[in-house]
């Protein structure tokens, strides 16, 4: 029974807890997508090129030349002379393999050309050079 002096209180739905749950779920998805990308190369400052294209290859091999000229093959250090032999081992029985050169923009031009020269000695190795599109955050 209602007393005549009581004011009518409109029904209310409190959405603050729902907003908190939505933000928690959104944060979870944002954080989990950060770990979905898998980088085979070491972190380097890639040069920028307006004509970059994404290479579709089935398991590319990544050769990284860092700022000091150190060479890595799929994140493992390797010497310039051993590079063709290691690529051939990774290539296995495949007729062709995509080799992505991930060179720091401060790496010596001569060092990068030397790596490319060694890679071209491997029969069936297709070379690609990693770059970023201009405007992509560093």
| Separation CA 138–CA 12 (nearest Å) | 47
Q: What is the pLDDT of residues 5-45, one digit of tens each?
A: 777 777 788 888 899 999 999 999 988 887 776 555 566 67
Q: Are 102 and 67 in contact (CB under 8 A)?
A: no
Q: What is the pLDDT of residues 59-96, one digit of tens each?
A: 788 888 888 888 888 888 888 888 888 888 888 787 78
Residue of 62, 67, 98, 94 lying closest to 78 (CA atoms): 62
What's the whole-model pTM score?
0.56
| pLDDT given for residue 28 in this prediction | 92
Distance (Å) of CA 48 to CA 62, 73, 82, 112, 129: 18, 22, 29, 16, 11
Structural domains of the chain, ranges and CATH numbers in brackets: 40-138 (3.30.420.270)
| pLDDT given for residue 23 in this prediction | 94
Mean pLDDT, residues 107-119 taken together:
87
- What values do phi and psi take at 135, rounded to 5? 95, -10
């Amino acid at each position: 029974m209602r007393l005549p002096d009581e004011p009518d209180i409109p029904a209310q739905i409190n959405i603050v807890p729902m907003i908190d749950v939505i933000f928690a779920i959104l944060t979870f998805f944002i954080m989990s997508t950060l770990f979905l990308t898998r980088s085979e190369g070491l972190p380097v400052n890639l040069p920028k090129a307006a004509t970059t294209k994404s290479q579709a290859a089935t398991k590319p091999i990544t050769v990284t030349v860092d700022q000091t000229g150190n060479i890595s093959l799929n994140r493992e250090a390797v010497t310039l002379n051993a590079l063709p032999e290691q690529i051939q081992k990774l290539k296995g029985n495949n007729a062709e393999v995509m080799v992505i050169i991930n060179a720091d923009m401060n790496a010596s031009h001569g060092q990068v050309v030397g790596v490319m020269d060694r890679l071209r000695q491997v029969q069936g190795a297709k070379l690609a050079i990693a770059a970023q599109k201009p405007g992509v955050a560093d």
